[in-house]
Amino acid sequence: DKLQHWLFSCRRYAGWDFPLLLVQIAGFGKPGLPDLQHGFVQVRQAQQQFAASTPNCVLVSAADLGAVQDIHPPLKAELARRLALQLHAVMQADDSSTLLPLQAKLHQLTTAVAVLRLPDGVYWPLIQPIEGFFADCPPTGWQAVPARYTADQQYIEITLPPAAQTLCYGMAAQPALTLYN
């Protein structure tokens, strides 16, 4: 609510709906704390929701660039690259950015497995298992779901419970990939 109020006030003062590049907070915090109770995970979720519901606002993720002991991402050059690419896309009024999170598309969905196709020619850290995927399964709520790379490393397969209604990534304290909802 404070971020929304700040942006509305700034835009009103400026007299136009200028674009906002919002840097998502990096992975950080106490290991061992349940992901959904981790304060920084909740901040990242709020930032995702804010960017999705705010016109002319783009989220630039740093969720995978964090370090356990430092809230400031050590991979600043990568964050700068992402900001520059997103700024270029905003200036070109182009919805298709070259940022990786915007290129990961839901490829296939069945009642048991969701499949994400990864962009060609991009290096993806082959971390097994992939942590940070959660599904909303009423009435029990959010729960972690397993994810793994396929043998050809072109897809990520996420096993879903039968009651899953929403799949979300980035709800781990230290996510390894940068993917949006």
Confidence at residue 41, expressed as pLDDT on a 0 to 100 scale: 78
Top pLDDT among 157 and 126 is at 157
Digit-coded pLDDT (tens) for 92-144? 764 444 333 333 444 455 558 888 877 666 666 666 678 778 888 888 888 88
E-strand stretches of the chain = 20-23, 57-60, 105-109, 113-117, 133-137, 141-144, 147-149, 155-159, 166-169
Model-level pTM? 0.59
Confidence at residue 56, expressed as pLDDT on a 0 to 100 scale: 87
Alpha helices in the chain, H assignment, sequence order = 2-14, 39-53, 76-91, 100-103
Q: Which one, of 180, 155, 157, lies nearest residue 49 by Cα?
A: 180
Q: Which one, of 131, 129, 133, 136, lies nearest residue 162 by Cα?
A: 136
Taking residues 160-177, what's their average pLDDT?
Answer: 75
Confidence at residue 166, expressed as pLDDT on a 0 to 100 scale: 78
The pLDDT-based confidence of 148 (bands split at 50, 70, 90) is: confident
Digit-coded pLDDT (tens) for 50-64? 988 888 888 888 887
CA distance 20 to 86: 11
Digit-coded pLDDT (tens) for 72-96? 777 788 888 888 878 877 777 644 4
Confidence at residue 36, expressed as pLDDT on a 0 to 100 scale: 63
Top pLDDT among 42 and 119 is at 42
Confidence at residue 6, expressed as pLDDT on a 0 to 100 scale: 93
Confidence at residue 104, expressed as pLDDT on a 0 to 100 scale: 40
Question: Which tokens in the block code for residue 58?
Answer: 């783009």
- C-alpha atoms less than 13 angstroms from C-alpha of 94 in its C-beta half-sphere: 12
- C-alpha atoms less than 13 angstroms from C-alpha of 170 in its C-beta half-sphere: 26
Contact in structure between 52 and 44 (CB atoms under 8 Å): no
